[in-house]
Every structure is written in C-alpha cells, then in structure tokens.
Structure 1
Amino acid sequence: MPKKRSGGGLSPTQQAAKFLGVSVLSGAVLAGIALPAVGALGLAAKGSVESFDELPANLKTPPLSQRTTILDAEGGTIAQVYSRDRTVVGLKDISPYLQKAIVAIEDSRFYEHGAVDMKGVLRAVNKNARSGGVSQGASTLTQQYVKNVFVEEAGDDPTKVAQATQQTIGRKIRELKFAIQVEEELGKKKILENYLNITFFGQQAYGVEAAAQRYFSKPAKDLSLPESALLAGIVQSPTRYDPINDEAEAVKRRNTVLQRMAEVGDISPAEADKAQKAPLELKVSRPKNGCITAVKGAGFFCDYVRQVFLTDPVFGKTRKARAKVWNQGGLTIRTTLDPQAQESVQSSLKNHVNKNDSVAAAITLVEPGTGKVLGMGQSKPYGYGNNETEINYSVDHSAGGSNYGFPTGSTFKPFVAAAALEQGRPPTQEYSSPYEMPYPDPVQTCSGKPWVNTDGETVPNEDKSEVGPYRLNEAMAKSVNTYFVQMVADIGLCPVVKLTDALHVVQGSGDKLPEVPAVSLGSLGVSPLTMASAYAAFASRGMYCTPIAIESISQKVGERQKSLDVPKSTCSRAMSEKTADTVSTLLQGVVDSGTGQQAGLQDRANAGKTGTTDERKNAWFVGYTPNLSGAVWVGSATQQVKMVDISIGGTYHPKVYGGSVPGPIWRDAMTNALVGKPAGSFNLVDIPDPDKDKEKEREKERDKDKDRDKGRDDGRNGDEGFIGGLIDGGTENGGNNGDGGPTFPGNVIQGQGNGGNNGNGPGGRRG
C-alpha cells in the first residue's frame, strides 16, 4: 500500500515550495531547471504556478513492459517475445555496487534532498544563464524516474514519446509535481528500485536485469564493481557509451563513474584505481526476441499464438486493448504444442522437401476431441531471408496467413459423402459416373434459387479408364470426380453447405463457401488447420472441436502474478456417429487400396484422402488416426508452379499427386508423432457390396456343383468296391445313397474297403 500523503493540508504549490526550500515557487526557478528563461516561451511565472496547481495530484504509473515467454505443452520454452526486453527484479536481486554506482553518477545527494535538489537547480540556473542555452539539467533520480514513466506510458507512439521527452517548462512542471507525490508515497529505496527497472541501458535492454544479461550474460545481483560502474555510466547516453560499439568511450565513462564513487565515499581510492585498470571483459548475449528465435521450427506456431492473442475478444474488447496487454508483456503462455509431434513435423518436412525447392509444404496436426493444435510447421523456415517466409501457410488470413488458403482438391469429397449420408443416402449409392460430363443442373441451393450451368462447364475424371457406374466406396477410393458431382446434383448444395458450416470449413479469407457444384471438387482456398480440424470430427465420431493453441496464461505485473482467461475449445455434434463411422470406413479404403496407399500407416488404424488440383498447382493429403488428425499441403504460395516434371526434396516427379508427395510426408509426420501413444481403433461399418454379394452367391453355386460331382464319383467308386469285394475283397469305398450305386456292406468274404452305408460303413465279414 502506498504511504499516506503527508502534505498536512498544504496546497501543491506550498508542498513544492517546502521541498524546494523557498517561500515562493517561481516560474523563473522552474524554467531554470532546464531552460534559460521563461519569457522566451511566453509563459509568465504566475501562469507556471497556476498550471502547477491545476495538474492532477496522482501519477498514473503503467505496469512496466516485460518479456513474454511462450512454452510448449510440457513447459519447454518455444520463444521469448517482447516490445521491451525487461525482467523486473527487487533491490535484493541487484548488486549493491550497481545501486551505489547509479546514485553516485546520476544523483549523489539522492538520499539527502527531497523530490527536487535545490542546490542542483540553482547550479543549473546559473550555468544555463551564463551559456545562454540548456547546457546542464538538474533532474534528480526521482524526476528521471517520473520522466521514464511518461516514456513508458507513451509506448511505441513517436508523438507521445516526443511529448514525454521534450525540453519544455510544461514537462518540467509535470515532472516536479509528480516527483513530489512519488517521494511522499514510495520512499527512496522503492524509487531507486523502480528507476533501475525502468531505465534504458541500450542494446534493447530495459532495466538492470536485462542489461546485465545483455552485456555480461549474468544476473544483476552478480555484477562486480567494474561491471556495475559500466552499466551505470551507460544510462546518460546509451548510444554514446555503448560498450559493444565503442569500447574506448565506454571504458572512459566507466572510470568516471568509479572516480565519482570514490569521491562520495562509496568505495576507496584504491578500489577505484583497481577497478579502473580492469579489462572490460564483455560476455554479450544477443537479443533473442520474437518468433524468429523459436526452437524446433515452431516459429509459425509462435506467430499463430500471437495472432490468437491479438484477435480473440477474451483478451480485450478491441484489438488496441489486446495489443496493449501483449506489448506490456510479462506473460507466461503455456500452449498446446506437443514437442514430440512438432519435432516429427519438422523431421518429415526436412526429409521430403528442401527449403530452396520451387514449392513449399505445410503440416498441421490437431487432436480429435479436444481441438488442441499439437504441431505446425513449414518447409521454408520462419524468417525474412532467402528461402524464408513470415507467411504462415497453415492458417487463415486473419490468423497471420497472407495467403487465403489453397484449393483442396479431392480432400473435400468426404464432406460431400458425409452430407449425402446425413440425407439418408446409403453407402452403396451408385451413379453412372462417366469419364467426362457437364455439371448437371439445376442444383438446389439453400436460398431456393437453383444453380444453373449457364457456361456449359464440364468436369472430367483423372483418367479415361475411370468410367462408371461406381458405388460410393469405390468412387472414394479411386477419387472419381464425376461421381461426386452427380452426388451433389442429387442431394443439392444446401446439405453440403450446412455440414461444412458445422465443421467450420470456410475459405482462407474467412468467407463462407459459395453454393456452386465445383465446391465438391475442392476448387476454393482452405487452410491446412481448417482441414485438419474438420477431419478430426470424423475421428471423434462426428464431434467437431474448434482449434485451440493456448492452455493457460499468467502475467507478471511488477512482482505480482495473475492468471488470464484463455479461449476454450467448443465442441459440438457436426454429424451422426453412424455417418462419421461410415466415412472412416470409406477413407480407410483409400489408404488400404486406393489413391492414398503411400500414406498408409503400418501399425495402427488410419484413414485419409488425397487431393490434387487443376494443373497440379496444389497437392494434399488429409488423414487421421483415432487420436490424431493431420493435413499436409504442397504447392506454391503464389499458385504459379505446376508440379509436373519437378524435383521436390531431391526426388524427381513426372507428375505430383496427393498420394505421391503429401502422402509420405503425412505418413512420416504421423508415425513419429504417435510413437508411444495408444493405437486405438475405428468403429467401422459393414458396407454392403452387391458385386461381392453376387460373387459369393456364385461361389456357393460352384461349391454345390462340386459336391454333386464328388457324389457321383463316390458312387462309381462304391459300385467298383462292391464288385471288387465279391471277388477279392476290393479296397474301394461304398457310394452315397441315390448317387451311383446301391448301399452294400463291403466284402462278403474278407474285404479291406469301407462299407457303402452312406459311403462310410465299415468293411469286414458279412453277418
């Protein structure tokens, strides 16, 4: 709690006079603090006093901005981000040498005077008057602290920063009044602590802790005398006395500080002399700020976390309010990123795609049933150099993706199938599925105004051999375009749109999908995160969960910790369990015997779908196991590269398919991400196959024919056994009743064959 003000009923002007030790607070004295005269600015002494009285009584001190640490799900550091690199510490964690050094060089009478050092003011007035300009200031440590509060409050606004630092009487009056308040409420030790935490020490370091780490790679409490003197000397001019860029000037300034410490009795002359001779011995730690420093290739995920914070209303009503909290920092953000999954993502990308390839690849992994984003990576590293990018290909434009998603190709077809199943179409649904056909019309829409193929657009299959009729399971496995166009024409576009709405499948721009038949073939741009989250609903038996990247956030304000609310995943039923299970059964067929065989996992249940767009500008594989869903996109961010006669990751491809490049990337990323995780199983559905059923019937008839043929043969053998037995005890078996001979008990004399009783009676002597 702040100390009770002890003004004793005095007016602000009288309090100021008390601190100054004068009976009247004149504008001339105030001006003399930093300006040669008042009249030059047209401000009378009387006006200065009135302005002083009218100022608000309380200094609003904003929380000091600090670095934010982003952690993975296991508590490992992903990256540190900050607008100002600062870690607030108490006096007990600051070297006594540094505390004495900063007081000695900046305000040696700090513990003797009030908010304003009258001797210093008079000295400055006298010198400035003689020079005709502002050659010397007289700000106390308290006044400097107040000025730094104004600068901190200004943030990155250049206009506000200029106002906070400009050399005007108005600013000096404000500084003075607030300095009086601060002296009364905080006391000397707290003012010194605050000053050391707020002050800029150059090289992006704010506060002594960040400065100690920057220049000497050690905490502030461990600074030696020479090191403390160096940091104290930087404060007056961080650029001029920067030891990294001008060692000689920095050493000269350090030695000045040491000399001053000896003069005021903080150290002995011998100690000062020894410290002045000490080498500089910097051990610089370069600033590691921002997502570009993220480990395990998690720069894009780090940026996604930042974007979530800046766009989600849970962190503030407006973007400006959210940005203020983010820039203030001091946050510890525990995310959903699974280090094992992330490492697997990066390993798979590195093994399959080179960063200097003409195309890129992006992977996003999501946990079904929770929406947790477990992995996110790209083949081109996060950065601003050659073959690097700050564009996150995995997310929508609003979340940091400069692109608006990518056409998904045939990976959209499972949504059409699910919509049809929800409408009651059987999984055995059959369509003629010619090799090529016009888009059928009219097609019903949600608006009631049918879509009509006014331009006569046509759609072909991938291969001329793909000619129907096909049923759903075969059409999905072979990815037959005309089948799904006919399916959309059958059920209408509205069921598809409603299902994709339930799965939150939107374009990368955030716009809803339009009601056009081409949507069934994945003609529109969608992000990998959207696709992975939507497919996760199949894995979780129809439950869709919104993706989340943040588990918890705590914020350090000063030395106090508080928890922040974070967005939660919202789960809702997007389709029936039966529909989801049927789609899983269909998509398991894709990896077992269809276009996705190269993506199939060997040791666990898995399902997925390939996708390749027009001119092979995009290739996809989206798939899942019961406990992990993943989407892989390969293509050019500019959509200019046709993946024909192309080398990717050092492997030549005459034509790229969803199964040939994205499939193996998905397989390897999923395999290692799931090591040590339960395998699980799908709730598969028995999908009738009329062709197989007919084949089974034919097989049964063939088996019956074989039985009849065998009976006839046995009958003939029985006859031979009977005759043979009469003669010399034949060894043949008896025949079946009614099938080639009478039943007779073997050899009447001494037969060795079996009796004919239904083909199995024992031989031997008669009667």
Structure 2
Amino acid sequence: MGNKRSGGGLSPAQQAAKFLGVSVVAGAVLAGIALPAAGALGLAAKGSVEGFDELPANLKTPPLSQRSTILDAEGGKIATVYYRDRTIVPLKDISPYMQKAIVAIEDSRFYEHGAIDLKGILRAVNENAQSGGVSQGASTLTQQYVKNVFVEEAGDDADKVAEATQQTIGRKVRELKFAIQIEEELGKKGILENYLNITFFGQQAYGIEAAAQRYFSKPAKDLNIPESALLAGLVQSPSRYDPVNDEQEAIKRRNTVIQRMAAVRDITPEEAEKAKKAPLGLKISRPSSGCITAVKGAGFFCDYVRRAFLSDPVFGKTAEERQKTWERGGLTIRTTLDPKAQESVQAAIENGVNKDDEVATAVALVEPGTGKITGMGQSRPYGYGKNETEMNLSVNASMGGGAGYQPGST
C-alpha cells in the first residue's frame, strides 16, 4: 500500500516545519498586540510589516454611501438615486434573529473575546498547518468591519480595493490595531450595528436594510429566522450563495447558518428544524436607481437636478468634492417641479408629437420673476432604448443638452 501522507501530501516532517513557521508568524503578531511597547514585530526588519507602534492610532471611517431622494415642490418623490443602495438603520430596527444569525455564523464568540480571538487564531493556525494552505481564517466581526471600512473608502478604485483585501501579514496587523481601537470606541453593539450597515449582501444591496428590501421586500426589523439565516449566509460569498441564481446552494447555506444558530443556543432545535423546512420565500424588489426610474416625464428634470448639483460650488469647492458628496448620498433634494404643471407639459407634448416621430419637441415651464422651473419634458422619453434619449433638449450642452435651437414666437 505504501505510506500515506496527510496534509495535502506533506510528510510529518514537512507538516511540522510548516506548522512551526505559521506558529512563529502568529506568535509575532500576538506579541506585537500584547506588547506594543516592545516596538517592531520582529518581521519588520525584513520589511514584512510596519512597527506596531508606528501604525496610525485612529481609523478614519468615511460616511457610508446611501440613497438620495429627489422630491417635487409638494414633497412627492420624483426619483431615488444612489451610488450604492444602502439605508442606514439603528440596531433596534434590525431583527434580533438577524443579529444572532450574523454573529453565529461569522463570529460566535463575538461577545466573549476582545478585538481579536486568540482561540480562533490558534485554531486557524492549526487547521492551516494541517491542510498545507489557508483553509480557515480567524477574523473577528470587528476585524471584518475594519476591512469593510477600507473597501468602502476605496470605492471603485480597483487598486485600492485590492490593497484593502490583500492577504498579507502587514494588512492583518494594521487591521488588528484598528480593531482594538474600534472595540474601545464603539463597544460590541456599536460594532454590530455598523457591520450590518456596511456589509455587502449581493444583488447591489449594501447594508441589511437594503438587503431585506431586495430579497424579501420588507424592513430589516421584520426578518424571521430563515430569512435572517439566508442573509447572514450571503456575507461569506454573495455570488456563490445568491438565492436568485442558485436556489439549492442558497438553501444549503441558509440551513448551515440555522444549524449554527441552534448549536450556540440562539434558537431551539425545534425552531431550527422548522426553519430548515421553510421555503426561501423570496419576494424580490429589483434595484432601481437613477433618473430612468423617475415618475412619468420627469427624467429630464431629474437629470437637470443632478447636473445642477454637480456644477454648483455651493455643494463643494471642486468638481471632485461635489461628485463625492453626490455618491455618498443620504440627501433629500427638494425641487421646484410642480406636479400639475408637469402633467400639463406631458399632456401638451403627447397631444402634439409622438415619441417615434422623426422630429422631437421639448417644453420647459419657468416661473416669471423667480426663474423656478415648474415643468420640463420632451417627446422622446428619457432612457437608453429605441426612440429614447438622454439628451435634454431644454438645456445647453454643459447641462446635458445639444447645440441649441432657434426659438419660436412667444
């Protein structure tokens, strides 16, 4: 038969050497955390990591991007726009089942350890040494939150995202130091609240409120056991466990979370068995953002509002600052659009010109004396399809329009 080797084909001697090497690294990290006054971590001399004491002490958390709402003059919604679909909610507005589910599957000892989980690190070191690779991580919920902050700050910059998620000792050490700070500043409840609001759940949903609305069309406070377990299971891999694209894989992952909740006694065995048998119960709300979703005929006015915001120094000294403010969102933008005036604009347009005619018409109503725009529309709808256009014929090129037209008689 021959001698069988465990650990991916490694001999006992090779396993011991790998385990020793990983243990030395873990020991260095732990020593640096436990005794920061000692200075560098030992590996710093080789350029592997920075000195623990030299790392910044304060984690700067950027405001989380949220959806913004554009309203008409009477407070009616014209459109919802967002860079990332997120609605921040306090912990009291998140189902207790959801809170328990995420802790159970991601960091079941969350309330027992500090910023780092020494038992978890030692367990991961042992498992990884045995497997000959990285089969198990040891990040606490706090460390995951810190990583998510870096990812959020990176935005769409691929290089910064890669830097925020790279698997290096240096990044882990920085993550650990910030985690210690966060634990002291926020406490467990604050960390859990922030984590659930920042995390990506797939299907363009950031944060638990957007995820609850996306998958179940309900607020996060109303999530039940199987729904909470499904969403908690998505965090590890939103694409792999996406219930929209792979129902069976999603059910398996959901039931794993439910079993874990039972194992840590968050729910009873009876509740677990009932929850496992429940259908997914999806009630998908498709993501909708931007001026293409505006109420009938108001897409061009919505686009005008966006461009006016991005060009006005009132909202930021530079174009970059204004763009960041727009993307960060969380805004309620009240405008001058009069619903009745807008209806009259659309009626007049539709009575005169069809959307598929060779010629197009545009109408803008402006209140004399104030300059308030009360209505704006045109015969070809706002959009990207056939007989649709994004060009606003009522404005100049800098605001999304064309080269202009000869004015008619007043």
The two structures have a TM-score, normalised by structure 1, of 0.48
Aligned equivalent of 1:407: 406
One-letter amino acid of the counterpart of residue 403, structure 2 = Y
Check conservation: 2:28, 2:42, Cα contact below 8 A.
no
Deviation at 1:281, TM superposition (A): 1.1
Check conservation: 1:337, 1:375, Cα contact below 8 A.
yes
Aligned equivalent of 2:360: 360
Taking the aligned partners of 2:169 and 2:361, their CA distance within structure 1 comes to: 60
Taking the aligned partners of 1:394 and 1:94, their CA distance within structure 2 comes to: 45
Deviation at 1:350, TM superposition (A): 1.4
- Per-residue CA distance 1:716-764 (angstroms, 9 max, x = gap): xxxxxxxxxxxxxxxxxxxxxxxxxxxxxxxxxxxxxxxxxxxxxxxxx
- Per-residue CA distance 1:503-524 (angstroms, 9 max, x = gap): xxxxxxxxxxxxxxxxxxxxxx
Among all aligned residue pairs of Structure 1 and Structure 2, give the percentage whose two residues are the same amino acid. Answer: 77
Taking the aligned partners of 2:294 and 2:29, their CA distance within structure 1 comes to: 50
| Structure 2 residue matching 1:376: 3-state secondary structure | strand
| Structure 2 residue matching 1:343: 3-state secondary structure | helix
Check conservation: 2:243, 2:249, Cα contact below 8 A.
yes
One-letter amino acid of the counterpart of residue 321, structure 1 = E
Q: Which has the larger displacement, 311-320 or 388-397?
A: 388-397
Check conservation: 1:26, 1:45, Cα contact below 8 A.
no
One-letter amino acid of the counterpart of residue 45, structure 1 = L
Check conservation: 1:380, 1:388, Cα contact below 8 A.
yes
Check conservation: 2:49, 2:169, Cα contact below 8 A.
no
Bigger fraction of residues in helix: 2
Aligned equivalent of 1:71: 71
Ranked by relative contact order (alpha carbons within 8 Å, sequence separation 6 or more), the top structure is: 2
Any stretches of 5+ residues in structure 1 without a counterpart?
1-24, 33-42, 412-608, 610-622, 624-767
Deviation at 1:233, TM superposition (A): 0.6
Taking the aligned partners of 2:49 and 2:387, their CA distance within structure 1 comes to: 62
Deviation at 1:264, TM superposition (A): 0.3
| Structure 2 residue matching 1:365: 3-state secondary structure | strand
Aligned equivalent of 1:213: 213
Aligned equivalent of 1:251: 251
Deviation at 1:30, TM superposition (A): 6.3
Aligned equivalent of 1:240: 240
Deviation at 1:44, TM superposition (A): 5.5
Deviation at 1:363, TM superposition (A): 0.8
Deviation at 1:133, TM superposition (A): 2.4
Deviation at 1:93, TM superposition (A): 0.3
Check conservation: 2:90, 2:193, Cα contact below 8 A.
yes
Deviation at 1:359, TM superposition (A): 1.4
Aligned equivalent of 1:108: 108
Deviation at 1:49, TM superposition (A): 6.5
Taking the aligned partners of 1:384 and 1:72, their CA distance within structure 2 comes to: 24
Taking the aligned partners of 2:44 and 2:390, their CA distance within structure 1 comes to: 57
Aligned equivalent of 2:321: 321
Aligned equivalent of 1:96: 96
| Structure 2 residue matching 1:254: 3-state secondary structure | helix
| Structure 2 residue matching 1:296: 3-state secondary structure | coil
Check conservation: 1:30, 1:172, Cα contact below 8 A.
no
Instruction: Pick from 40, 43, 46 the counterpart of residue 45 of structure 1.
Output: 43
Taking the aligned partners of 2:49 and 2:339, their CA distance within structure 1 comes to: 62
Deviation at 1:46, TM superposition (A): 4.1
Taking the aligned partners of 1:107 and 1:28, their CA distance within structure 2 comes to: 19
Taking the aligned partners of 2:132 and 2:357, their CA distance within structure 1 comes to: 66
Deviation at 1:28, TM superposition (A): 4.0
Aligned equivalent of 2:169: 169
Taking the aligned partners of 1:304 and 1:75, their CA distance within structure 2 comes to: 18
| Structure 2 residue matching 1:136: 3-state secondary structure | coil
Deviation at 1:31, TM superposition (A): 7.1
- C-alpha RMSD over aligned residues: 1.6
- Per-residue CA distance 1:535-566 (angstroms, 9 max, x = gap): xxxxxxxxxxxxxxxxxxxxxxxxxxxxxxxx
Deviation at 1:52, TM superposition (A): 2.1
Aligned equivalent of 2:369: 369
Deviation at 1:342, TM superposition (A): 0.8
**Structure label with greater radius of gyration:** 1
| Structure 2 residue matching 1:115: 3-state secondary structure | coil
Aligned equivalent of 2:268: 268
Give the 3 Å change call, closer, same or farther, for CA 406–44 of structure 1 in structure 2: farther
Give the 3 Å change call, closer, same or farther, for CA 357–268 of structure 1 in structure 2: same
Aligned equivalent of 1:562: none
Q: Which has the larger displacement, 341-350 or 254-263?
A: 341-350
Check conservation: 1:364, 1:394, Cα contact below 8 A.
yes
Check conservation: 1:26, 1:49, Cα contact below 8 A.
no
Aligned equivalent of 2:6: none
Q: Which has the larger displacement, 124-133 or 59-68?
A: 124-133
Q: How many residues align?
A: 376
Aligned equivalent of 1:691: none
Deviation at 1:296, TM superposition (A): 2.2
Deviation at 1:251, TM superposition (A): 0.8
The two structures have a TM-score, normalised by structure 2, of 0.89
Aligned equivalent of 1:342: 342
Taking the aligned partners of 1:29 and 1:203, their CA distance within structure 2 comes to: 40
